[in-house]
Structure 1
Amino acid sequence: MQNFTDRFAKTVSCPKGMKKKLFTDGKVRGLVLEVRDTGGKTYYVRHADDRGSQKLHKIARAEDISVSDARKLAEQLRRQLIMGEDPKSVKAAKRAVPTFAEFTADKYLPYVFSYKKSADTDLSLLKNHLLPALGRKWLDDITPEDIEGIIKKRIRNGAAPASANRLTILLRYMFSLSMKWKIAGIKENPASAVELLPVNNQIERFLTDEETQRLYKAVSTSQNKNLKDIVAALILTGARKSEALKAEWSDIDFDRRTWRIPVAKSGKPRYIPLNDQMMTLLKELEERNKIGSKYLFANPKTRKPYVSIFRSWDTARKQAGLPDVRLHDLRHNFASLLINSKRSLYEVQKLLGHTQVKTTMRYAHLAHETLIDASNATSRLSGILEIGVSK
């Protein structure tokens, strides 16, 4: 045992024939100085673990701190060990925490690309917004304030609240998975503390019969010869644009009058009943399929589905004087026609392929208007009740 001094720590050397020797301080219990034959010297705290085994816990190199500092640090470390805290384990756990970029590349993207239809969208959001801001941060260092800063920047740059919310939702999902997978250091979801921005973008644009005629006339004169057939299919079935563009002839069952969507938005197949007008359109398309493509609306140049039809659609809708009408509005219009034909919300839900009725409930106000119209059948009672009759 030796009362350590700065001079002792500087001059002490390892005895000849030994690779290292431990010297014990006489003032602070557990403080030792390891001196090696290479000349290196390190302060440790010696402490017995729960099983009684003596362990050495490193403090620092002797050349980096004074004896006084070594004693203070030894006392702090010893108190931690007595309380059951193991700084070594804490450090190891910290080193195991990945950065946001590492977690994204090694865990998240391989997972979502194995099942998620919108994985490309996730990748775009990550590359353009989240990785530049969070990529170098350790996953357990990301705070709600960090996320709120990203959202505020998106809004300042002109993004709509719904677009900004997609970042929060994506981060919520990523952190939820990190907790499920027990990623080191992740015990809470910082994105769950970030509130979504209020959104009022439930745009419902319904076409009148006259507007439908104008629109169809415009798409019929489009340079994209398939546009009028694509638009007609969307109007007649309420299908999503992506479903129509990827449709294959093998998905059509003429006998059962069904169109099979192999992978719908829900991730499962769904079946669209084919009405008389759609059956007529399909037979015309079948006769005109001179290029022998397996796709209903193949790009004649590539024989594959269109990557985008926005340019030709945008030209046609403007020509029709309907610049505010989106392709997705044709799906809303399909629902409107069903409701106004006195079909139930349940039937609309099934025809649109909604997995939850609450999604279909956005059209409930149309059903209400239809009910009012039905209720007006009582108008013959007006005379009997003398309503609206001057007295």
Structure 2
Amino acid sequence: MRNQTITKSLVDGLEARATEYSVWDAKLPGFGVRVRPTGSMSFIVVYRAGSGRSAPFRRYTIASVGKLAPEAARIRAKQILGKVVNGIDPANEKARERGTATVGELADLFVRHHADKKLKPSTCSYYRLLVETIIKPAFGSTKSDKLSRAAVSRLHSGMSKHRVNANRTLTLLSGIYAYGGQIGEVPEGYNPARGIEKFKEASRERFLNGDELGRLGAALQEAETVGIPWDVDNGPNSKHVPKLKRVTIVSKSAAAALRLLVLTGCRLREILHLKWEYVDFERGVLFLPDSKTGKKTVVLNAPALAVLAGLERIGPYVIPGDNIEKPRSDLKRPWAAVSTRAGLQGVRLHDLRHTYASFGVGGGLGLPIIGKLLGHAQASTTARYAHLDNDPLRRATEKIGAELSAAMGENIYDTAEVVPMRSSDFVPRQSSG
């Protein structure tokens, strides 16, 4: 077929034949329409990859007919042929791009070959959740070497109502791209998540004071003995029918687990997955073969040892589940009942670990010791409790006060009797006028 100007009317009139054939454009050499026996048609460009008659021919498929208008396809063909003039082989470039992993594929490689082998199972589960619910829906089909920092920044900014997940997604994406650079899936150093400012996260530390701990102890005692009462209505039409009184009884092992969280500062899984073989009563320690920071030794105090000694050994785990051969999965229901009864709304189980740390630091034990007791791998992790260590500040201000008082010729520091103030001492005086 002789060359013709490729227009919509020409394309609409093309019919399938027994064999594939092409129609070439009269205006732009190398630009044409390929027609297959099935009737499908595509806009194509044919060119020589190199100079001279020995250079091989390449055929580049622009798009299927219907996805682009003929004029738009001609413009695209001019761009492709312009690359050829500049010594670029567009067909090879496209083939390389086709072989580049998508963001979704790179994320799967990271989870399967890196996270699953080097990170904790709980961390891997969280990463999978972020990949499937956030990263893949946003960028899953994007070529990994085409993802822009602007696109990642828009995703992060759009998650402002969920700042923790937004920041963790940014961290995860950065890790995925660092891994991609190591294995050669993306250029080393290319990381669209780098340099994006994270949201400020409100501190979530919550420490129980002495009064709150007293209420917690009373609620635990009640829960494992007589049970925590709760009301049950007899129905919407039972206005004059007395409410039934029922109670929630917390098992002895669940109550013990809650006490151990307070008395040891351990993480939840360290207590729930604790086996009797890890407990050394003679030395007063727990030898944990694995924890968030690796192998860990927990030094037990006398109350914690007493809690452990009071438990019955009915299986391999200190806190067994319904199947005594497996650990209890969580403490959500007993903690909900106990914390509500104690008036500790909003207090998380992890806050019991913070409470253990706060009492140690407030008692002047020092951050390095507390870090060792908690099993922190880095001193910066323990530093969050630095503001509770007021003993050095107390000594400093007392020394300054004494010197200032002496310089003023007063002996207040040596002679004054310190009297605790009561709330009634702060009642404002009545105005006489």
Normalising by the residue count of structure 2, what TM-score does the alignment of the two structures yield?
A: 0.69
* Structure 1 counterpart of 2:58: 57
Quick one: which amino acid aligns to residue 104 of structure 1? Answer: A
2:275 touches 2:318 (CA, 8 Å); kept in 1?
yes
* Structure 2 counterpart of 1:337: 359
**Aligned pairs, number:** 365
* Structure 2 counterpart of 1:115: 118
Deviation at 1:60, TM superposition (A): 6.5
Supply the distance in 1 between the matched residues of 2:345 and 2:73 (Cα, whole angstroms): 75
Asked whether 1:272 is paired with 2:301, we answer no
Question: Where in structure 2 are the equivalents of 1:267-306 lying within 5 Å?
Answer: 268-285=294-311, 288-289=312-313, 291=314, 293-306=315-328
- For 2:309, what is the secondary structure of its paired residue? helix
2:272 touches 2:330 (CA, 8 Å); kept in 1?
no
Asked whether 1:386 is paired with 2:410, we answer yes
Normalising by the residue count of structure 1, what TM-score does the alignment of the two structures yield?
A: 0.76
2:279 maps to which of 247, 252, 264? 252
Alpha-carbon spacing, 1:32–1:124, altered in 2? closer, same or farther (3 Å): closer
Question: Where in structure 2 are the equivalents of 1:38-187 lying within 5 Å?
Answer: 44-48=46-50, 54-58=55-59, 80-81=83-84, 83-117=86-120, 118-156=123-161, 159=162, 161-183=163-185
Q: CA RMSD in A?
A: 4.5
Supply the distance in 1 between the matched residues of 2:348 and 2:317 (Cα, whole angstroms): 23
- For 1:54, what is the secondary structure of its paired residue? coil
Quick one: which amino acid aligns to residue 281 of structure 1? Answer: V
Supply the distance in 2 between the matched residues of 1:132 and 1:32 (Cα, whole angstroms): 37
Residues 225-275 of structure 1: CA deviation (Å, up to 9, x unaligned): 323211221222111111111111121223333212222212x21111122
Alpha-carbon spacing, 1:330–1:59, altered in 2? closer, same or farther (3 Å): closer
The alignment-based identity, stated in percent, is 25
Supply the distance in 1 between the matched residues of 2:150 and 2:402 (Cα, whole angstroms): 64
Deviation at 1:186, TM superposition (A): 8.0
Supply the distance in 2 between the matched residues of 1:71 and 1:375 (Cα, whole angstroms): 81
1:179 touches 1:186 (CA, 8 Å); kept in 2?
yes
2:144 touches 2:186 (CA, 8 Å); kept in 1?
no
Residues 341-378 of structure 1: CA deviation (Å, up to 9, x unaligned): 321211111111111111111111222x1123445776
Q: Which has the higher helix share?
A: 1
Quick one: which amino acid aligns to residue 385 of structure 2? Answer: Y
- For 1:45, what is the secondary structure of its paired residue? strand
Gaps of 5+ in 1: 11-26
* Structure 2 counterpart of 1:211: 212
Supply the distance in 1 between the matched residues of 2:31 and 2:218 (Cα, whole angstroms): 91
Gaps of 5+ in 2: 11-26, 66-71, 224-248, 416-433
- More RCO (CA 8 Å, sep 6+): 1
Supply the distance in 2 between the matched residues of 1:262 and 1:53 (Cα, whole angstroms): 67
**Stretch of structure 1 that moved more, 313-322 or 302-311:** 302-311
